[in-house]
Amino acid sequence: MRTALAPNPAISPATDPAMTTTEPAAASQMPGRATAPAYVSIEGVGKSYGSRHGAVHALAGIDLEVREGEFLSILGPSGCGKSTLLKCIGGLERVTKGSLAVRGQPLSGPPAKAGMVFQRDVLLDWRTILDNVLITAEFLGQSREALKPRALQLLQRFGLSGFENRHPWELSGGMRQRASICRALLCDPELLLMDEPFGALDAMTRDDLNLELARIWQDTRKTVVFVTHGIAEAIFLSDRVVMMDRNPGRIVEVMEIDLPRPRTLAMRETPEFGRYVAHIRHLFAGLGILKEG
């Protein structure tokens, strides 16, 4: 019973040991629900960092296709190479093995029309919130003035009206992260890379931002690669969840999330949602990452 599809309700994943031995190759060969073309193609990618203590194999043998317009989450324990994989996709790190293409073009440097949200908001203290959002336009060589209305609209959408002229240090952590999402969205990227954007936030703010992100995705159908530690968050947001293990960082399973859209917070109480959570828990428990009581 090797599957990359939604867990079969007939077989409880928690009692099916075969589930935990799903191999990445098998997972990625399974036909997906969506048939959209690949936006990002990752083939046999490995990434090693040289260090004083010898080479660190942050990634090894990564095969993955990110389909156009899909919301893909990467879930895995700390140090399994999630950030590294995201940076490789963003052209911010060179891969040491394999190949990586965006829209069929082999990657050399950051792809066009990509936006990134970092784990820490990296807002610039010397700029106001509005100017922080507009910096994307400046970097891309687009007109600040032309994009100002869009920036204000984004800030409003994320509940930051009235804070345009404040400086980052005058805002709460949640507000800062929202501003950094506005910054990434300003020039309408096709590919949005998000590295645990809500990792440092409290549960309520996190729910709130998850909903907003789901809505934005629903409206714009960007290709999103979303790194997270949160199982529920990954299921709630995603079309597919990629599960990784460490040493070396590798994909252990890719799972389709077959929940209807638009998603609502109430869905998290449904048995289907619960089955996905149980399946992922079981998988990570089998890998010795989650200890089950």
Ligand X SMILES: Nc1ncnc2c1ncn2[C@@H]1O[C@H](COP(=O)(O)OP(=O)(O)OP(=O)(O)O)[C@@H](O)[C@H]1O
Does 103 help bind another protein (rule: CB under 8 A)? Answer: no
Does 145 help bind another protein (rule: CB under 8 A)? Answer: no
Does 187 help bind another protein (rule: CB under 8 A)? Answer: yes
In whole angstroms, what is the distance from residue 96 CA to residue 140 CA?
A: 28
For the CB of residue 223, give the shortest distance to another protein in the complex, in Å.
Answer: 14
Does 178 help bind another protein (rule: CB under 8 A)? Answer: no
Does 112 help bind another protein (rule: CB under 8 A)? Answer: yes
Please say which residue, 51 or 108, places its beta carbon nearer to ligand X: 51
For the CB of residue 62, give the shortest distance to ligand X in the complex, in Å.
Answer: 12
Backbone φ, ψ for residue 151 (5° rounding): -60, -45
Please say which residue, 42 or 74, places its beta carbon nearer to Mg ion: 74
Please say which residue, 15 or 108, places its beta carbon nearer to another protein: 108
- CA distances 167 to 65, 124, 129, 135, 162, Å, are 39, 9, 6, 14, 12
Please say which residue, 62 or 182, places its beta carbon nearer to ligand X: 62
Out of 22, 41, 73, 83, name the contact with Mg ion by CB under 5 A.
83
Does 197 help bind another protein (rule: CB under 8 A)? Answer: no
For the CB of residue 52, give the shortest distance to another protein in the complex, in Å.
Answer: 19
The residues that touch Mg ion, with contacts defined as CB under 5 A, are: 83
**Chain residues that interact with another protein, rule: CB under 8 A:** 87, 90-92, 109-110, 112, 114-116, 118, 120, 122, 124-126, 135-136, 138-140, 167, 169, 187, 193
